[in-house]
Amino acid sequence: MSTRYQSLIANPVGQILVKNLGLPNPVPLERHEPGAPLVSGTVAVGGEGRLARTVVTMLDDLGVASVTGTGGAERYKGLVFDATGLTSSADLVALHHFFTPLLRSRLETNPRVVVLGTPPEMTNSTEERVAQRALEGFTRSLGKEIGAGGTVQLVYVAPAADAAIESTLAFYLSPKSAYVSGQVVRVGATGATAAEPVTDWERPLDGKVALVTGASRGIGEEIARVLHRDGATVVGVDVPQAANELQAVMKDIGGDHLMLDITAKDAPQRIAKHLVDKHGGVDVIVHNAGITRDKMLRNMKEDGWSSTVAVNLTAPERITRELLDRGLVRPNGRIVGVSSIAGIAGNRGQTNYATSKAGVVGLVQSLAEQLDDNITINAVAPGFIQTKMTDAMPLLPREVGAMLNSLSQPGLPVDVAETVAWYANPASTAVNGNVVRVCGQMAMGA
Ligand SMILES: NC(=O)c1ccc[n+]([C@@H]2O[C@H](COP(=O)([O-])OP(=O)(O)OC[C@H]3O[C@@H](n4cnc5c(N)ncnc54)[C@H](O)[C@@H]3O)[C@@H](O)[C@H]2O)c1
């Protein structure tokens, strides 16, 4: 799928216009293909902190080639810089020393950059805290500069979670994170520092049961397909009106289905009963179902407000509470909320929607502190993701909206699904309490 603009410039004449007029030139993004190597090239590892050696060992374990010296002429698909050793602002020049010589001609297309730091609040001195906080500005700016379909992330790793970053490296260095850039995540910052070993990285969810709401189409369908690809048995939920589509998707992936409106009074109990009767419990819950009822607040009817909040926020709250209270979420379980850029940046005509999606962030932040048994909760915040919903937008806002990001193109449902799959990975136990934007580093609310 591509936008009208992408189709127009995808020929020699279009490329001449792009060059001469200085227009955005979106680079096609590589996506992960089942069976393909995680990284199709070499990763250079730099920096002298507490993590560099661990990273090299983990990359080896993941079957990814890496080097620690960058003196030759080799080109790299990925760069990992261990910035945990930077303890003062003067030390930050190490970023310049490592990156500057590599950025001109030493990177392949769609390069992946990961900077590793220590959560500023977990540092040992004021100077170190300042230096670690400064990494955010560096990574967010490099994300806007890197070009060639590249992405740049900052991962703050709590000192006790050094051994728990493998699934995060695997995600951020691979094409699975094609549309995630300029993000800051924390690993191990909420206390959980373990990581369940993964024996088969192609099917990390083997034997797990995943509940996905709104699974009949769009992003939810893709989440169901990717979790199934990773080995999970998916229980898809959607409204009775979407029964045919839901059944078709679930049949295709050997999943199970449950038709109900998640805002129904007894929906949490019915979901719980279904999971007990058919699956004995659940390992992954993805609250994807969502609606928009856009209107300026001054023109909004109460029903437009209430229905949006009921589907997007109250239903995920109630379902989560019921499944947790009944002990149905198995140890090392995963809860994933679907927020939105609108919930972070706000959006004209979406006070109801943005309220509900910011509330999803609140749910993540409050529960991340309370969950035990290595259960985690995180959220994805999609930006402009090309679906039937966005295809129905008028041409101009659609084309412009799709390009207002560092990658100058819209994302695909699979980009959101891959991010959910990273959270769902059994090795992601220390990834808790995060909200990651899947937005190509959208200019809005950055
Ligand atoms: N598409 C985007 O660009 C975008 C951007 C940001 C956030 N999101 C969020 O991603 C999620 C999926 O979006 P999408 O674009 O795939 O939307 P979509 O409208 O294509 O799919 C939503 C699904 O949820 C189901 N659903 C709605 N209300 C329900 C209810 N009460 N009970 C059960 N199921 C219900 C619908 O039937 C549908 O299958 C939503 O939460 C949305 O807010 C999407």
Q: How far is the CA of 83 from the centre of ligand 1 (A)?
A: 38
Residue 16 has pLDDT above 80, yes or no: no
What domain count does the chain have?
Answer: 3
Question: Quick one: 224 and 148 in the same domain?
Answer: no
Instruction: Answer yes or no: is the C-beta of 246 below 6 A from any ligand 1 atom.
Output: no
**95 domain residue, yes or no:** yes
Q: How many other C-beta atoms lie within 10 A of the C-beta of residue 197?
A: 7
Question: Closest by alpha carbon to 340, among 377, 384, 376?
Answer: 384
Per-residue pLDDT tens for 352-366?
Answer: 999 999 999 999 999
Classify residue 157 by burial, with Cβ atoms within 10 Å: 0-12, 13-18, 19+: buried
Residue 18 has pLDDT above 70, yes or no: no
Question: Quick one: 56 and 16 in the same domain?
Answer: no
Confidence bin at 441 (pLDDT 50/70/90):
very high
Containing domain of residue 108, as a range? 31-187
The one catalytic residue in 5, 76, 353, 423 is: 353
Find the CATH number of the domain harbouring 130: 3.40.50.720
Question: Quick one: 173 and 217 in the same domain?
Answer: no
* Atom 42 (ligand 1) nearest CA: 290
**192 domain residue, yes or no:** no
* Atom 36 (ligand 1) nearest CA: 214
Both tokens of residue 58? 């983990």
Q: What average pLDDT score do residues 101-129 get?
A: 97
Q: What is the Cα–Cα distance from 67 to 298, expressed in whole angstroms?
A: 59
* pLDDT the model gives residue 194: 79
Closest ligand 1 atom number to CA of residue 353: 43
Residue 2 has pLDDT above 90, yes or no: no
* pLDDT the model gives residue 122: 97
Q: How far is the CA of 193 from the centre of ligand 1 (A)?
A: 32
Confidence bin at 1 (pLDDT 50/70/90):
low
Question: Quick one: 134 and 246 in the same domain?
Answer: no
Per-residue pLDDT tens for 406-429?
Answer: 999 999 999 999 999 999 999 999
Partners of 438 in the β-ladder: 382
Reply yes or no on whether 353 is catalytic: yes
Question: Closest by alpha carbon to 413, among 241, 242, 288, 240?
Answer: 288
* pLDDT the model gives residue 185: 98
Per-residue pLDDT tens for 341-351?
Answer: 999 999 999 99
Per-residue pLDDT tens for 179-211?
Answer: 999 999 999 998 877 778 898 999 999 999 999
Q: What average pLDDT score do residues 285-302 get?
A: 98
Question: Quick one: 111 and 252 in the same domain?
Answer: no
